[in-house]
Amino acid sequence: MADFVLLISDWYRLNARELPWRNTKNPYFIWLSEVILQQTRVDQGMNYYLKFIENYPTLNQLADADEEAILKLWQGLGYYSRARNLHKTAQQVRDEFNGAFPKTYHEIIQLKGIGPYTAAAISSFAFDLPHAVVDGNVYRILSRYYGIDEPIDTGKGKKLFQELADSLIPEAEPALFNQAIMEFGAIQCTPNNPDCESCVLNQSCISAFNSDLIKKLPVKKGKTKVRKRYFHYLHIEKGLEIALDQRTGKDVWEKLYEFPLIEREDDTMPLEFKDSASLSYQTKHILSHQHIYAFFYKSDETEIDGLDLKFVEKSQLEDYPIHRLMEKYLESR
């Protein structure tokens, strides 16, 4: 185990990418980067991170911000519940901790939207506490190196990998090791076609040079069923105004704006549109557990049965946070 820790740490010192959130001990900046990088590549998340710290340089400024402004800044990044939780957590820290980010793992994990991985990351990166991070990269490295075929998406598997990672974390420089193992998974022990020949761990890695094991590990017990949905949108303009609705309820894109929508069980044009609208654009939009088949219709009618149409100034459309599917449609025009 000591060799594993030493080899990965030495590799990191030579190969680490220069990333802005690695040059700070500010827990707010570290937390912000971790939230942004969930489900997001570093190259995509970088600009969002820089925009957020420019617009909200302190946690209290983020807490005091309007949620709609935060969603607008987040636009295009997806998984918008992250942005809403980011705002709520900032308000929780402002209200319950006088704006000072808590300094212990136990306190951090109590914050809204923060789980074991993020709590461990903030604890080690900001406060040098020995809490092991376990993300997709860590699952992949540990399962391949030790030849573990326990599924990572079960309670038993998560417990096993967390305990293994905890046994590896050094008391000295825990932040460096956590950064090292994640970086190693990101650029060396990659999901597909890792370069085992040049890997510093290949002499002791159980999966090294065994393409069968590399492809099979880590193991997942089962895939989440994909839901198909059919969204029928109505694009209506009235003079200098355009019809726009805000999504409500616990569903995708909560609190974002879009055209008036009728959801159906299939791709058939809604009866409400038959006499007044024509199809102008259609696309398939893929989310993690949903495939959305979207149809956009244009109409000159300003009253449609079954729809409560609300209009906003077209010149102000850019002020409203919209989801990527709406962006795709507007870009196609």
Sequence-separated contacts (24+) of 145-152 with Cβ below 8 Å? 145/4, 145/201, 145/204, 145/205, 145/206, 145/207, 146/206, 147/206, 147/207, 147/213, 147/217, 148/217, 148/218, 149/216, 149/217, 149/219, 150/219, 151/218, 151/219, 151/220, 151/221, 152/218, 152/219, 152/220
Pull the structure tokens for residue 153.
């998406």
Of the candidates 327, 262, 263, the one whose C-alpha atom is nearest the C-alpha of residue 299 is 262
- Give the Cα-Cα-Cα angle 65, 68, 72 (nearest 5 degrees): 105
Indicate if 34 belongs to the active site.
yes
Pull the structure tokens for residue 36.
């942004």
Catalytic residue among 18, 34, 67, 171, which? 34
> What helix, strand, coil percent values describe the chain, rounded to 5?
45, 15, 40
Paired strand residues for 314? none
Length of the chain: 333
The pairing of beta strand 245-246 with beta strand 257-258? antiparallel
Of the candidates 307, 232, 299, 233, the one whose C-alpha atom is nearest the C-alpha of residue 266 is 232
Distance CA 258, CA 245 (A): 5
The count of C-alpha atoms lying within 13 angstroms of the C-alpha of 332, restricted to the half-sphere facing its C-beta, is 12
- What residues act catalytically? 34
